Amino acid sequence: MSGSAKKELKLIIIGAALFALAFAASKLFPDLPWYVTALIFLVPYIVAGGEVLLEAAHGIKNGQLLDENFLMSVASLGAFAIGEQPEAVLVMLLYRLGELLQSIAVGKSRASVSALIDICPESVNLETENGVEEVSPEEVQIGDIFVVRAGERVPLDGTVVVGSSSVNTAAITGESLPVDVAQGDAVISGSINTSGVLRVRADREYADSTAARMLDLIEGAAANKSKSEKFITRFARIYTPVVVALAVLLAIVPPLFFGGEWKEHIYRALNFLVISCPCALVISVPLTFFGGIGAASKNGILVKGSNCFEALSKCGTVVFDKTGTLTKGSFHIARIVPAAGVSELELMYKAAAVERHSTHPLAECVTGAYELGGYASPLPAAENCVERVGFGVSALIEGKLVRAGNERLMAEAGVVPDKSENASTVIYVCENDRYLGRLEIEDEIKPGSASAVARLKNELGIGSVMLTGDRRPIAEGIAEKLALDDVFAELLPEDKVESLESIMAETAKGKTVAYVGDGINDAPVIARADIGFAMGALGSDAAIEAADIVLTDDNIERVPLAVRIAKRTVGIAWQNIILALAVKLAVMLLGALGYAEMWMAIVADVGVCLAAVLNAMRAMRVGRAS
């Protein structure tokens, strides 16, 4: 418990003790003059409610007339004026107790979230000419060397130059398993060095570091309010003046026009004011979204605002990019199919000899497979290398023209290749007019892709679609393996936005469409979607600017987790809205009809507020991605 909370509790205890003494005195000496009784109860009233009265006066001075301090002051002073001094003191005590319990609950929630994002060290152990000195992270320049000891957080993104260790990246990526790093490996700011000493070269300045970007995203999320939060803000502005006006009418209309007793109806009006405080709504709904954003960040999901959560909770379709999102984006040769009379060695020898002069990812896959595949023959020199986009590459190898590419390149050579029946990217190879065979290359599906799609469909009822520029047979093969609902293939970059818009047009009314991309080439599509996900994109300015939600690593299973957190968070927010409004309206009606005393009103108000705050804290308790 904080120092201010302990002070508050001490005042409540003293006030309660003085109230007990005053109440006992009023019962032991019932014939005391009314002003003596009032003075006896005034002491505990000032102890318990003095601060509330001062806050109310301060609010009046600053033009903030209709806040909860003002309402509570008017109600309790009014009770004093009509001779209900014990109830006035009891109301103030209960109110202060409720505020204390509420502040403790909110404080614990905020402390839990703050712990999640407390990832930026205040100093860096920088190597200088005078040895290692502690400096602020903002002073470190790109290329500087800093030291990270065991148990310390990595302050800046960098590359290990000396040392080896394991780093815990849970605060950034949500992954609990440590990652082994050694010389040449990258480390990200915010992660914890669990063992050994690392000397690290700074690759980014502090403002551009992963940890700083995360903090900017999380802190900026508060500015992007959801419709629910905006509704509560507007509601409170209209609601409070209306209930004050109704309380005034309740106090004066029945006595003036219907012969009611002034004391009784003033008391009812004061009850009405006590009940009317909308604190349960004003506090619990933003706290719910704050907790949800904290739970998401704990799992490596950075949400730019509660408005993104609300849109994601209505998601009907998730559209995925293929390469780098559903698949690893790292190619491997799945099958080597030599032509009749050609050996595997000859096919790989000629293919690697010509492909090593290309920088295309498929070419790098072929040369890498040759170098690592145990083929002993050194690759020959190549002459007159020509690479043609959309066809392939050709070169003179040992005096013969070797071509490696697609069917169109083979057709130019007058060669008819044997077709593959597999959903693979195929490189055909020929030497002059002699067909040598084919290499079938595949992009490996990420381990979590099938699970993520299944969770979206089976647990959340959300459809999955894939957009890709790859050939239709390959795209359809991957779509079949992942059980996707639809696939759009052979798309140019500009076609992806058009395809996404057609999906959005066909989506049911009231449902949103999310797009998940690798955050580098997909910025236009990410920006166009109702909710844009950027995967593993903390280093990409375009992705962070375009995306609504940033996944700190390439774990595709965080997508259904993000949807689940969003649905849970929005559901809890609406539970609090309905609970608070229902209980308040019921007790307000009872108070107006004279069936609820003032202490009952304050218990109902405090009880609802505490229930709503505790319910809001549930938004933080969401399991990690598997």
Do 415 and 405 form a contact (C-beta atoms < 8 A)? no
| Residue 120 to residue 219: CA distance in whole angstroms | 13
Rg of the chain, C-alpha, whole Å: 34
| Residue 257 to residue 265: CA distance in whole angstroms | 12
| Residue 325 to residue 448: CA distance in whole angstroms | 10
3-state secondary structure of 159: strand
- Beta bridge partners of residue 395, listed in sequence order: 402
- Beta bridge partners of residue 445, listed in sequence order: 327
Nearest to 386 by CA among 398, 372, 374, 397: 397
Nearest to 610 by CA among 107, 111, 101, 232: 101
Tokens linked to 456: 């979206």
| Residue 596 to residue 420: CA distance in whole angstroms | 81
Q: How far is CA 527 from the centre of its chain?
A: 17
What DSSP line would sit under 450-501, residue for residue?
HHHHHHHHHTT--EEEEE-SS-HHHHHHHHHHHT-SEEE-S--HHHHHHHHH
Exposed/middle/buried for 222, CB within 10 Å: 0-12, 13-18, 19+? middle
| Residue 219 to residue 506: CA distance in whole angstroms | 35
- Beta bridge partners of residue 443, listed in sequence order: 331
The single residue of 157, 321, 530, 605 carrying the catalytic annotation is 321
List phi, psi (to 5°) of 38. -60, -40
**């469409």: which residue's tokens?**
513
Taken in order 66, 68, 73, 76, the sign of the CA dihedral is: positive
Q: How far is CA 32 from the centre of its chain?
A: 63
3-state secondary structure of 582: helix
Angle between helices 210-221 and 85-117 (to 10 degrees): 150
Distances (CA, A) of 331 to 283, 418, 474: 52, 22, 13
Q: Is 321 a catalytic residue?
A: yes
The counts of H helices and E strands in the chain are 20, 22
Residues annotated as catalytic are 321
